[in-house]
């Protein structure tokens, strides 16, 4: 286990970076201004194998670890946190499909980028509000019947073909993941208007009216503190990390070139110190992300319950820490950019995008509660 | 909360609150999504009917002759529902305040500005940057009795709707001047702001000048107006940010009372209650500092102390307000992130931070006011 990338990992990062800089970055302004889903870039991400990274080779995946999927998230988010989010949905959730042989039918089209993976888990009562969540899936013979409304469906603006993943509560109180296509009778969704950030990633509302899904096309989903979520938190951390690195690098470049009273802004001591302060935060975040990722990968080969508990707690810490660091970096970089940033969508999108990391999935407040549990403070 | 205000000031506050809640709030979505990047023209007219452009104009010129405290009361209440309308009010008020001191412009334009028939914008920021005045290019040259203007100005608030522009810049002798230019003068062009982070409806586009001819009497020396007007703008920018954060807080507090988690309102959770209490504490202290600065500024004997505090407020208040609203963003979660009527507060406050001079430069100027250095780091 090492935090230093292998030669293969460095090469992989270089490939992702090249794609991000050459193909994604030129499209950022358009995404921010139109809120359109970049379907062709989605296809390209499939061609480059981003959704195959964590999937086993026996299913057509690359069988790589979470370090590699974090590299994907980090590099994409440097130029476009929104595109990073679009890709992340599949990187996380296609792992669900691996566990169910009937659902393998969706794997190849999703991994290739032909079929877009949209996902929703927030009922009207709120994502973190398990107690008030009403039953959304009722067993009917070999099927489940789904009813209800779900908010914030990421990627739901992508068009056909689309796979929909909905996490719904069953009669026995458990949460299951349901997989179907957007053409399934009874499934309707609306498009999300503008959000604070993450333009182009959808986020509309899905309305399910007697949507019938075969029981064998569902999977049980752990609620709360199942290990699966800690891979997601690690990916969130990598997204926040990439966004911080991308925005900070642009800001440093701007400050070097912006002349104030005959000198570059970086010659002002307070500006230089602020950039150094932000860099120190981002470097700490980098260590946390790859510590969690490599620990997880190590645990796959070397099971160790004590280390696994440590990993879970550290990944939980990473989620809260990365959200707050990202928001701080975004605020400070915006301030350095001044009016030039405030009037440039290709700059200010970071400000709105990076506010998402303290909200997405569960908010920072809820994550403090989860961390309290992992610290055994409320046994 | 308002014990420091006089009866008249309290009456003004309640008038403005009613205007904000009854007339602006129902149209906040319209303001946020305006196509031409200017607030609805009828609301602009209503602001004039309520006397907002006249606040800082002397009574003998048809103004109200009020002080900075009254100006801030107005901006605070408007910004609670629409910080971008607060910004528009700030522009209108401060331009009228300056323009009254140049007789030809006063005679020709002030009545229209006070009645809301003339939209007057201000253009100052050169492409070299606002703080970087040493590098500003010459924008006006003499031609007989007239002036010929050539150049570009960025971030001109309200420029898309402007009938009149007050242009700030240097002449060929590097004298700082103000030119009053009518919107339809040949060679004078406006481009709407591309796409801003926030403050929607307040303009902010680029104005360009190609051999624009301005009559000699429509040019004033840069020194007209109140030389301390900058400090007024600092207090007002601070109070816009404060009003925005207070508006956000009101929504978040209501949300915390009504939104339930596991059958209990969010306020039942200790960490949420403390978060709200912390935000309320910060807002109260920031507010006290702002009105301390305006009271001192309005008292000629203490104006210097008021100015120093105004500058401190501009450096400190919007920054703190942004952090407060970030904390509240987390409380509002997906509902806030997906709702422009909530999240605009966060983006608008960022606008107050970078407005005029950004934070670092405010502190740089403070080092001079505090006697820590002889001059700016140049």
DSSP string, A64-106: --HHHHHHHHHHHHHH-HHHHHHHHHHHHHHHHHHT-TTTHHH
Interchain CB distance below 8 Å, B337 and A356: yes
**Measured between CB atoms, does A271 come within 8 Å of chain B?**
yes
**Measured between CB atoms, does B359 come within 8 Å of chain A?**
yes
Q: Chain A neighbours among B 86-125 (CB < 8 Å)?
A: 125
3-class DSSP assignment, residue A379: coil
> Can you give the pTM of this predicted structure?
0.94
**Measured between CB atoms, does A270 come within 8 Å of chain B?**
yes
Interchain CB distance below 8 Å, B263 and A132: yes
Dist CA A188 CA A163 (whole Å): 13
Q: Render pLDDT for A279-326 as a digit per residue (tens, 0 to 9).
A: 999 999 999 999 999 999 999 999 999 999 999 999 999 999 999 999
**Measured between CB atoms, does B34 come within 8 Å of chain A?**
no
Q: Render pLDDT for B263-291 as a digit per residue (tens, 0 to 9).
A: 999 999 999 999 999 999 999 999 999 99
Q: Render pLDDT for B191-215 as a digit per residue (tens, 0 to 9).
A: 887 789 999 999 889 999 999 999 9
Residue B2: its pLDDT value, please?
47
CB B276 within 8 A of CB B256: yes
Query: Which residues of B fall within a CB distance of 8 Å from A356?
Result: 337
CB A279 within 8 A of CB A324: no
Q: Stretch B63-79: mean pLDDT, rounded?
A: 97
Q: Stretch A36-54: mean pLDDT, rounded?
A: 97
**Measured between CB atoms, does B260 come within 8 Å of chain A?**
yes
Q: Stretch B331-354: mean pLDDT, rounded?
A: 96
pLDDT band at A119 (very low <50, low <70, confident <90, very high): very high
DSSP A265: G
Q: Chain B neighbours among A 321-340 (CB < 8 Å)?
A: 327, 331, 334-340
Dist CA A43 CA A66 (whole Å): 22
Interchain CB distance below 8 Å, B259 and A126: yes
Nearest to A261 among B134, B195, B261 (CB): B134
Residue B208: its pLDDT value, please?
95
Mean of all residue pLDDT scores within chain B: 93
Query: Which residues of B fall within a CB distance of 8 Å from A195?
Result: 337-338, 343
Q: Stretch B161-184: mean pLDDT, rounded?
A: 94
Strands (E), chain A: 116-120, 122-123, 137-140, 143-154, 162-169, 175-181, 187-189, 202-214, 218-221, 259-260, 263-264
Return the structure tokens found at B166: 């007050």
Provide the angle, in degrees to the nearest 10, between the axes of the packed helices A305-342 and B359-369: 70
Provide the angle, in degrees to the nearest 10, between the axes of the packed helices A345-354 and A81-98: 40
Q: Stretch A100-113: mean pLDDT, rounded?
A: 94
Return the structure tokens found at B276: 């709200």
Q: Look up the ipTM and state it.
A: 0.92
Query: Residue B339 CB: number of other CB atoms within 10 A?
Result: 16
Interchain CB distance below 8 Å, A129 and B377: no
Return the structure tokens found at A86: 């679009």
Which chain A residue has the Cα nearest residue B127? A340
Which chain A residue has the Cα nearest residue B319? A331
Dist CA A241 CA A377 (whole Å): 29
Return the HEC string of chain B. Answer: CCCCCCHHHHHHHHHHHHHHHHHHHHHHHHHHCCCCCECCHHHHHHHHHCCHHHCCCCHHHCCCCCCHHHHHHHHHHHHHHCHHHHHHHHHHHHHHHHHCCCHHHHHHHHHHHHHCCCCEEEECCCCCCCCCHHHCCEEEEEECCEEEEEEEEEEEECHHHCCEEEEEEEECCCCEEEEEEECCCCCEEEECCCCCCCCCCEEEEEEEEEEEEECHHHEEECCCCCCCHHHHHHHHHHHHHHHHHHHHHHHHHHHHHHCEECCEEHHHCHHHHHHHHHHHHHHHHHHHHHHHHHHHHHCHHHHHHHHHHHHHHHHHHHHHHHHHHHHHHHHHHHHHHCCHHHHHHHHHHHHHHHCCCCHHHHHHHHHHHCCCCCCCCC
Q: Given a cut of 70, is residue A224 above it in pLDDT?
A: no
Q: Chain A neighbours among B 274-303 (CB < 8 Å)?
A: 275
Interchain CB distance below 8 Å, B262 and A341: no
Q: Chain B neighbours among A 278-307 (CB < 8 Å)?
A: none
Place of tokens 């230019």: B181
Interchain CB distance below 8 Å, A355 and B329: yes
The DSSP string of A315-371 is HHHHHHHHHHHHHHHHHHHHHHHHHHHHT-HHHHHHHHHHTGGGTSSS-HHHHHHHH
Q: What are phi and psi of B38, to 5 degrees?
A: -140, 145
Query: Which residues of A fall within a CB distance of 8 Å from B319?
Result: 335
Mean of all residue pLDDT scores within chain A: 94
pLDDT band at A130 (very low <50, low <70, confident <90, very high): confident
Q: Render pLDDT for A7-35 as a digit per residue (tens, 0 to 9).
A: 999 999 999 999 999 999 999 999 999 99
- How many angstroms separate the CA of residue A316 from the nearest CA in chain B? 17
Dist CA B255 CA B245 (whole Å): 15
Q: Given a cut of 50, is residue B1 above it in pLDDT?
A: no
State the first-to-last Cα distance of chain B, in angstroms, to the nearest integer.
43
Q: Given a cut of 70, is residue B9 above it in pLDDT?
A: yes
pLDDT band at B225 (very low <50, low <70, confident <90, very high): confident
Return the structure tokens found at A367: 């994550």
pLDDT band at B243 (very low <50, low <70, confident <90, very high): very high
Closest by Cα among B168, B64, B179, B70 to B114 = B64
CB A23 within 8 A of CB A30: no
From B2-16, B63-77, B257-271, B273-287, the region with the lowest mean pLDDT: B2-16
Report which of residues A170 and A227 the model is more confident about.
A170
Q: Given a cut of 90, is residue A89 above it in pLDDT?
A: yes
CB A278 within 8 A of CB A361: no
For A82, A293, B164, the CA distances from B339, given in Å and listed in that order, are: 18, 34, 35
Residue A102: its pLDDT value, please?
93
**Measured between CB atoms, does B134 come within 8 Å of chain A?**
yes
pLDDT band at B377 (very low <50, low <70, confident <90, very high): low
Provide the residue count of chain B. Answer: 378
3-class DSSP assignment, residue A260: strand
CB B266 within 8 A of CB B259: yes
Q: Stretch A344-355: mean pLDDT, rounded?
A: 97
From A74-88, A310-324, B117-131, B218-232, the region with the lowest mean pLDDT: B218-232
Query: Which residues of B fall within a CB distance of 8 Å from A329?
Result: none
pLDDT band at A1 (very low <50, low <70, confident <90, very high): low
Q: Given a cut of 60, is residue A132 above it in pLDDT?
A: yes
Interchain CB distance below 8 Å, B378 and A261: yes
Residue B297: its pLDDT value, please?
94
Residue A187: its pLDDT value, please?
97
pLDDT band at A225 (very low <50, low <70, confident <90, very high): low
Q: Stretch A374-379: mean pLDDT, rounded?
A: 88
**Measured between CB atoms, does B195 come within 8 Å of chain A?**
yes
How many A×B Cβ pairs under 8 Å?
143
Query: Residue B167 CB: number of other CB atoms within 10 A?
Result: 26
Q: What percent of chain A has pLDDT over 90?
A: 87
Q: Stretch A187-193: mean pLDDT, rounded?
A: 90
Return the structure tokens found at A168: 């719904």
Q: Stretch B131-146: mean pLDDT, rounded?
A: 91
Provide the angle, in degrees to the nearest 10, between the axes of the packed helices B270-298 and B68-81: 150
């Amino acid at each position: 286990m090492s935090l230093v990338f292998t030669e293969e990992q460095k090469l992989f990062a270089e490939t992702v970076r090249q794609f991000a800089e050459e193909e994604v970055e030129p499209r950022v302004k358009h995404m921010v201004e139109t809120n359109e889903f970049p379907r062709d870039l989605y296809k390209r991400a499939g061609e480059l194998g981003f959704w195959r990274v964590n999937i086993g080779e026996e299913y057509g995946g690359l069988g790589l670890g979470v370090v590699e999927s974090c590299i994907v998230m980090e590099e994409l988010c440097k130029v476009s946190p929104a595109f990073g989010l679009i890709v992340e949905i599949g990187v996380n959730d296609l792992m669900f499909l691996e566990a169910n042989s009937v659902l393998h039918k969706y794997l190849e089209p999703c991994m290739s980028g032909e079929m877009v993976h949209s996902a929703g888990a927030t009922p009207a009562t709120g994502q973190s509000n398990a107690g008030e969540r009403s039953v959304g899936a009722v067993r009917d013979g070999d099927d489940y019947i789904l009813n209800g409304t779900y908010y914030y469906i990421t990627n739901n603006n992508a068009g056909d073909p689309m796979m929909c993943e909905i996490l719904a509560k069953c009669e026995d109180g458990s949460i299951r993941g349901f997989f179907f296509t957007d053409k399934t009778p009874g499934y309707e969704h609306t498009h999300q208007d503008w959000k604070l950030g993450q333009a182009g990633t959808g986020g509309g509302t899905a309305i399910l009216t007697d949507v019938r899904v075969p029981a064998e096309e569902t999977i049980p989903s752990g609620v709360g503190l199942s290990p699966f979520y800690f891979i997601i938190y690690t990916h969130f951390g990598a997204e926040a990390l990439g966004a911080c690195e991308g925005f900070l690098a642009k800001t440093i470049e701007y400050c070097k070139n912006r002349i104030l009273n005959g000198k570059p802004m970086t010659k002002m001591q307070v500006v230089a110190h602020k950039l150094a302060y932000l860099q120190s935060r981002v470097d700490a975040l980098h260590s946390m992300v790859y510590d969690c990722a490599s620990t997880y990968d190590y645990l796959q080969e070397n099971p160790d319950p004590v280390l696994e508990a440590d990993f879970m707690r550290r990944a939980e810490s990473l989620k809260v820490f990365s959200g707050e660091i990202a928001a701080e970096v975004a605020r400070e970089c915006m301030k350095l950019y001044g009016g030039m940033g405030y009037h440039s969508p290709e700059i200010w999108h970071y400000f709105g995008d990076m506010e998402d990391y303290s909200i997405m999935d569960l908010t920072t407040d809820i994550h403090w509660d989860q961390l309290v549990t992992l610290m055994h403070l409320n046994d | 909360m308002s014990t420091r205000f006089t009866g008249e000031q309290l009456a003004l506050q309640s008038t403005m609150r009613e205007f904000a809640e009854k007339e602006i709030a129902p149209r906040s979505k319209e303001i946020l999504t305006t196509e031409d990047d200017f607030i609805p023209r009828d609301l602009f007219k209503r602001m004039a009917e309520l006397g907002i452009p006249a606040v800082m104009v002397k009574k003998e010129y048809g103004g109200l002759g009020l002080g900075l405290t009254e100006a801030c009361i107005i901006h605070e209440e408007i910004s609670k529902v629409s910080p971008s309308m607060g910004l528009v009010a700030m522009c209108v008020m401060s331009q009228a305040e300056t323009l009254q001191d140049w007789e030809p412009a006063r005679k020709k334009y002030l009545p229209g500005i006070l009645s809301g028939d003339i939209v007057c914008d201000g253009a100052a920021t050169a492409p070299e940057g606002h703080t970087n005045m040493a590098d500003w290019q010459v924008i006006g040259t003499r031609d007989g009795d007239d002036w010929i203007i050539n150049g570009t100005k960025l971030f001109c608030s309200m420029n898309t709707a402007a009938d009149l522009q007050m242009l700030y810049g240097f002449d060929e002798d590097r004298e700082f001047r103000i030119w009053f230019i009518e919107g339809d003068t040949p060679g004078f062009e406006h481009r709407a702001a591309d796409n801003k982070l926030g403050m929607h409806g307040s303009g902010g586009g680029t104005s360009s000048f190609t051999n624009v001819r301005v009559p000699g009497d429509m040019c004033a020396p840069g020194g007209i107006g109140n030389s301390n007007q900058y400090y007024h703008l600092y207090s007002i920018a601070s109070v816009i940010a404060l009003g925005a954060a207070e508006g956000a807080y009101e929504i978040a507090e209501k949300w915390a009372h009504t939104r339930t988690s596991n059958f209990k309102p969010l306020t039942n959770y200790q960490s949420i209650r403390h978060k709200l209490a912390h935000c309320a504490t910060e807002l109260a202290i920031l507010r006290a500092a702002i009105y301390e600065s305006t009271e001192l500024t309005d008292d000629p004997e203490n104006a210097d102390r008021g100015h120093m505090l105004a500058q401190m407020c501009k450096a400190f208040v919007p920054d703190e307000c942004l952090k407060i609203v970030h904390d509240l963003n987390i409380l509002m979660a997906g509902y806030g992130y997906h709702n422009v009527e909530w999240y605009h507060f966060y983006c608008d406050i960022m606008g107050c931070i970078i407005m005029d001079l950004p934070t670092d430069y405010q502190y740089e100027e403070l080092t001079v006011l505090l006697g820590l250095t002889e001059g700016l780091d140049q």
